[in-house]
Structure 1
Amino acid sequence: MKLKSNSATCLSPQHQSHKSNHKWKQTVASIMLIASLSLTTFTSVSAEGKPSYNPLGPQETELFIDGFFAQPEIKAALKGAVVTVVQDQQIVLNKGYGYANVKKEIPVDANSTLFRAASISKTFTATAIMQLAEQGKVKLNQDISVYTDGLELANHTGTSLTLKHLMTHTSGFDFTDTATTARELNSSYPLEQFIKDHKPSVVRTPGEVFRYDNYGYALQGYIVQKQSGMPFENYVQQHIFNPLGMSDSHFTLSKDILERLAVPYNADGQELSQYPNVPDSSPEGGLITTGRDMAHFMLAQLNQGSYQGARILDPSSVQAMQTLDVSIHPDLPGTGYGFESTYSQYNHGRNVVSKAGDLAGFHSNLWLLPDEKTGLFIVSNSDGPDLREALFHAFMGHYYPDNQTKDADYSVSEAALRSYEGLYRDVRLPAWLYDISTTEKGLRVIDAYGTHTLTPVKDMLFRDEDGKLAGFKKNKSGEITYFYYNKSDSWSEKLPEAKLYTDVPEDHPYAPYIYRLAQIGLYPQDHPLFEPDKPVSRVEFVTQIVSISGMTLSNQSPKFKDTLSSPYAAYVQTALELGIVQGNTRGWFHPEQAITRQEAAVIISRTAQQLLGAPAASANLAGSQDGWAQEGVQFVVALGLYGPEVSVSSSGAVDYKSKQPMLRQESSVLMYKMLGTLLH
């Protein structure tokens, strides 16, 4: 059955990656920060109004970057930041802007203020792996079981999982992010224990599809420990930090480091509490560093692995790391060993490799232009509007303007265009969807940004109205299988059409919602009946909420006594740890009990507010609901997350029928509209 969507039903951040933290909010909401300002207005800064400058000079570069931060929109968005520019083995600029601590008015010092670099950590972990490969202690194409000291990972594919797969985010794991619970600053969680606690399974053929992989990089750090015979953080200190003179870089926290760490701020400008690395050394995201130290690392990467006479990598290893050849299309920058491509629409035809990182209150990005021997780094301490895209756009437009030749007209037959049509689901976050249909000369893509027009450039390569490329990949049978566009941390897979349920005809009022959710895998298709009028059980509803998160299921023993024997116990336990269910005071969950509409509303509102940071909402309610459910029902009604079962009076009051059981057809509307509204 083919259904046209009448609203966007997906998350759709423009960029992102990166390290998962202890709550889904810090996985999903940090991904969604990027489009909160109209950044194109920031990109016209040019010192003294002159044409592009190259090579960079210290005075002119400082003037240009100062001008960037002097813009009113940038100043309003800034708490604190460091910007570092290097070229031709020189530090051209290393300067702090704003405050490391706003309340105490402590300015950022680029040489001494510590920032969390987040997923830029992965580039250092990949560097350590490449060093071990040079020493003959590991082989990149060898099955990793040789290096994991008896750690067994289930592999259901028959294809070996290698270090190359881990480094390029093509492991094929079922889960790459963990929903670990919050930890106290003084608590300890060793890397080895973390790896054992959160073992995923290989369910896709390794090397087949790109899916950003935090666990895969934590696992590489574990392999570094095992093959070097020393803790990961000690290895990096001895073999990377010390040779490069990175005297103030760290992979573990201490009291001294915490005292000098920039204060993180949320999107509202409120101070966040400092938090521990999870695990302690966090090879995937635990790096804490300064602008000065990052300058040394960039200079080594731009000088074939050497900095001021100290060599950390052979030139061939540097070249391998910076070759972004794991891509959905040869003309689309892809992924290398610890590097990727962020905001590639501004590369202007030049070879650019980069790495971005995001944690609560900290956001970073480095870009290297190897042919120009130039590097750019920024890190900030606020979840407010993201400055990274604006900075890179301005920097490239000023110093390295577009030198690309215009694409020649490329026509695609109508039949070929139709082969791209369909619904595509992100392989990292199942809630993230693209609805693709044909136009007269190209493709129309609907996502949470709105509607985009893709014009063909080459076979399986398209360009949108803003110049951003999109690519497709075929399987061995020649069928379109994967899509990659404006969500940089994973590909999306083309979904088969949903099968018709015998009790849900195409003209059923809930059919569009039911079949779209069946298509994305939320409803099973192995039974001819859907039973739309059947009440939804509490465990069924919670399982669906957790399923769309894409999170690793909890491995903790179920806290609810009556879920111990349930096949969905891990889903309920994960929901408990994420803070979206509570149970009752006696420790019971009543999994098979029909969930009421007000209970479902409370779970949805908790998901949105606690995990995604959505604000509370009010609505004009009619009917009756319990006091504990008022806020949840108001939230769901205010956002219109209901179907034709709800009645609205002439005065606009909504009777949500709060105390009635939630039926399956009604739940389908709630879930569908949640994807299109809450995760928008």
Structure 2
Amino acid sequence: MKSHVATCATQQQQYQQQSYKSNSRWKRAVANILLVASLSFTTMSSVSAESSTPHPRISAQETESFLTQFFAQPEMKSALKGAVVTVVQDEQIVLNKGYGYANVAKQIPVDADSTLFRVASISKTLTATAIMQLAEKGKVKLNQDISTYTDGLDLTNHTRTALTLEHLMTHTSGFDFTDAAAIPRDLNRSYPLEQFIQDNKPSVVRSPGEVFRYDNYGYALLGYIVQKQSKLPFETYVQQHIFQPLGMSDSHFTLSRDTLSTLATPYGAEGEELSQYPNVPDSSPEGGLITTGRDMAHFMLAQLNQGSYQGARILDPSSVQDMQTLDVSIHPDIPGTGYGFESTYSQYNHGRKVVSKAGDLAGFHSNMWLLPNEKTGLFIVSNSDGPDLREALFHAFMDQFYPNNETQYADYSVPESSLRSYEGLYRDIRLPAWIYDISATAKGLQVVDAYGTHTLTPLKDMLFMDEDGKLAGFKKNQSGEITYFYYNKSDSWSEKLPEANPYDDVPEDHPYAPYIYRLTQIGLYPQDQSLFEPEKPVSRGEFVAQVVGISGMSISTQSPKFKDTVSSPYAAYIQTALELGIVQGSTRGLFHPEQAITRQEAAVIISRTAQQLLGAHAVSANLAGSQDHWAEEGVQFVVALGLYGPEVSISSSGAVNYRSKQLMLRQESSVLMYKMLGTLLH
């Protein structure tokens, strides 16, 4: 059996979350760090007892009528390029239908049986299936140190707790980095799984099993272990032990010329056609699955029929049950993660058990939901970064076929004195730039984050609900202190941060003190110094290191391309920024890392970061003063979003003098960084 693991924006700052989906580098590099945050808002409807009443039968005619009406809605028609929707129930495919186009320009319609789609992180469910198969055969043990199975792979573990397969499958590895840096690769360039594992090795910095953090590298490592223990390439193993038994004849974990010829064309957020791109690595256990609606129907039916499909068994019933038990959670009332499964859009579960998996890559977005007690599965995949159809589809599907079956919470109150123990600043484990500021009120908690201000009302010990019905949970450490928080960003927990030690030269009434101490809390500034030196200029290297460091991305291991950064303590950060397109060097191949950065240079870096990693668009502002032509777009971006402090003057006509050519001081940089957190993540 499985073990249980235990700043408000201005109107100018209202960037849609959709902008996070438009950049392929960010997609591949961070693989849902921001996007997945919107997928799993949990409400009270998700925590009631499972229904024991007979489940309603879903007919093909009723399902097709429902989907026809769904896609006929104007907002759905405008969002759609192409999609496949598949519904299964009681060992039968109820409906498997394509909508829209696999290629718009060529007017090639989607064929649900033959059009290939990338399903991204749904791949993880099949990788977990492969591990469970090896466990059933005695080739691996889920609770054993993975070093037994990794053939000498040297992973540094700074804790006293062994890292196991179970930790990898439940995203509780404790790795410092769980997402590989994005390096664009040519379709014809091979990148073997073993090389990828070696190139991107993280370290274990938290006790495995302690905290949830979505883990792409962990699932790539699971695929590597499948290779080692089966003595077959990962793609070959899955082909022989999952695809062939289930009749998934059009499913692949590698990209070839044949798969490219029938792979749906991806489209960006503005409807533009995107170029096809390779799997990284070639056989990508964490996100490389390319498949059809029909093949996904076969896989869902096997999961819903205790591991078998049309007489072919791929898993024992006990393994299926373990995979679908979402008990790795911050609180028993909040659905968590299982082996390859999670809980997406669980506010629409209507009191029923639902296990699911979502997937996101540039131009492709997928979701699979299974209702084990109702023997029902729903799958959708689309080929566009336009407005997301998945939440609306699941919401409408559950309202239509499985309406509310909820239980209510009894009244529960907590003294304000007890609520104060929850107060503090919480930093997301996966994305350090995402923070929560929590304070106690007379009847509950107030939470300020990138989405705005929320009120949490207590329901049970360590369990709260906001004004929209979303659940939030807390976890204590062994000493009984509040340690972790989970709320509206579904891909990781957040940790409570200790108060910052005061700097001798930054008193409480210092105009920049709130920004400096908040950033010190989240680790941007060192705590082992008595002086902050607020009026000291920031060097180019230090500024870039702060921008890259706060993103939570893994740092490049490539040799520095700038000749003058080789001996710099910021070399790896500067190289990462270069690879991501955030910085450029001089014509002589130099970066000048020790040179003080100007305010306009800093503005350009922030603007590029927002555009390259978050898909933000250029904005205009009413500027006073002068700035170089090459910096004008960056300065306008920073000024339009209000990313500055009291050092900036505004004329009676509203023109802003950003003082572009002056040096950026440390106190001024603190405002820029802190306001960026509450603005660009909104």
Letter in 2 for 1:527: Q
Distance 1:53 1:302, change over 3 A: closer
Letter in 1 for 2:165: L
Q: How does 1:95-494 map to 2 (within 5 A)?
A: 95-494=97-496
Residue 112 of structure 1 and its aligned partner are, at CA, apart by 0.8
Q: Is 1:562–1:588's contact at 8 Å kept on the other side of the alignment?
A: yes
Q: Which one of 560, 577, 580 corresponds to residue 582 of structure 2? A: 580
Map of 2:60 onto structure 1: 58
Q: Is 2:27–2:362's contact at 8 Å kept on the other side of the alignment?
A: no
Q: Is 1:263–1:274's contact at 8 Å kept on the other side of the alignment?
A: yes
| TM-score, normalised with respect to structure 1 | 0.94
Question: In 2, distance between residues paired with 1:475 and 1:629?
Answer: 48
Q: CA RMSD in A?
A: 2.3
Letter in 2 for 1:508: H
Q: Is 2:29–2:553's contact at 8 Å kept on the other side of the alignment?
A: no
Map of 1:45 onto structure 2: none
Q: Which one of 503, 506, 511 corresponds to residue 501 of structure 1? A: 503
Larger mean CA deviation between 277-286 and 263-272 belongs to 263-272
- 4+ residue runs over 4 A deviation: 5-8, 11-16, 18-22, 25-37
Larger mean CA deviation between 442-451 and 553-562 belongs to 442-451
Residue 13 of structure 1 and its aligned partner are, at CA, apart by 12
Q: Is 1:560–1:589's contact at 8 Å kept on the other side of the alignment?
A: yes
Distance 1:429 1:13, change over 3 A: farther
Q: How does 1:614-625 map to 2 (within 5 A)?
A: 614-625=616-627
Residue 19 of structure 1 and its aligned partner are, at CA, apart by 12
Letter in 2 for 1:655: N
Question: In 2, distance between residues paired with 1:479 and 1:389?
Answer: 36
1:277-331 deviation digits (Å, cap 9, x = unpaired): 0000110000000000000000000001000000000111111101111111111
Distance 1:262 1:548, change over 3 A: same
**Paired residue secondary structure (2:344):** coil
**Paired residue secondary structure (2:381):** strand
Question: In 1, distance between residues paired with 2:206 and 2:280?
Answer: 26
Question: In 1, distance between residues paired with 2:21 and 2:637?
Answer: 29
Map of 1:49 onto structure 2: none
Q: Which one of 560, 563, 587 corresponds to residue 561 of structure 1? A: 563
Q: Is 2:29–2:182's contact at 8 Å kept on the other side of the alignment?
A: no
1:515 and 2:521 correspond: no
Question: In 2, distance between residues paired with 1:358 and 1:211?
Answer: 17
1:387-407 deviation digits (Å, cap 9, x = unpaired): 111111111111111111211
Distance 1:61 1:319, change over 3 A: same
**Paired residue secondary structure (1:424):** strand
1:355-411 deviation digits (Å, cap 9, x = unpaired): 000001111000111111000101111111111111111111111111112111111
Residue 58 of structure 1 and its aligned partner are, at CA, apart by 0.8
Question: In 1, distance between residues paired with 2:284 and 2:587?
Answer: 36
Q: Is 2:103–2:264's contact at 8 Å kept on the other side of the alignment?
A: yes
Q: Is 2:85–2:378's contact at 8 Å kept on the other side of the alignment?
A: yes
Distance 1:252 1:34, change over 3 A: closer
Q: Alignment identity in percent?
A: 83
Larger mean CA deviation between 210-219 and 637-646 belongs to 637-646
Question: In 2, distance between residues paired with 1:446 and 1:570?
Answer: 33
Letter in 2 for 1:394: A
Residue 620 of structure 1 and its aligned partner are, at CA, apart by 2.2
Residue 567 of structure 1 and its aligned partner are, at CA, apart by 2.2
Question: In 1, distance between residues paired with 2:31 and 2:352?
Answer: 31
Question: In 2, distance between residues paired with 1:370 and 1:14?
Answer: 35
Question: In 2, distance between residues paired with 1:559 and 1:426?
Answer: 31
**Paired residue secondary structure (2:246):** coil
Q: Is 2:437–2:449's contact at 8 Å kept on the other side of the alignment?
A: yes
Letter in 2 for 1:345: Q
Letter in 2 for 1:226: K
Letter in 1 for 2:198: K
Q: How does 1:660-679 map to 2 (within 5 A)?
A: 660-679=662-681
1:159-180 deviation digits (Å, cap 9, x = unpaired): 1000000000000000001113
Letter in 2 for 1:493: E
Distance 1:35 1:205, change over 3 A: closer
Question: In 1, distance between residues paired with 2:217 and 2:443?
Answer: 41
1:77 and 2:79 correspond: yes
Q: Which one of 89, 94, 97 corresponds to residue 96 of structure 2? A: 94
Gaps (5+ residues) in structure 1? 40-51
The count of aligned residue pairs is 660
Gaps (5+ residues) in structure 2? 1-6, 42-53
Letter in 1 for 2:335: P
**Paired residue secondary structure (2:296):** helix
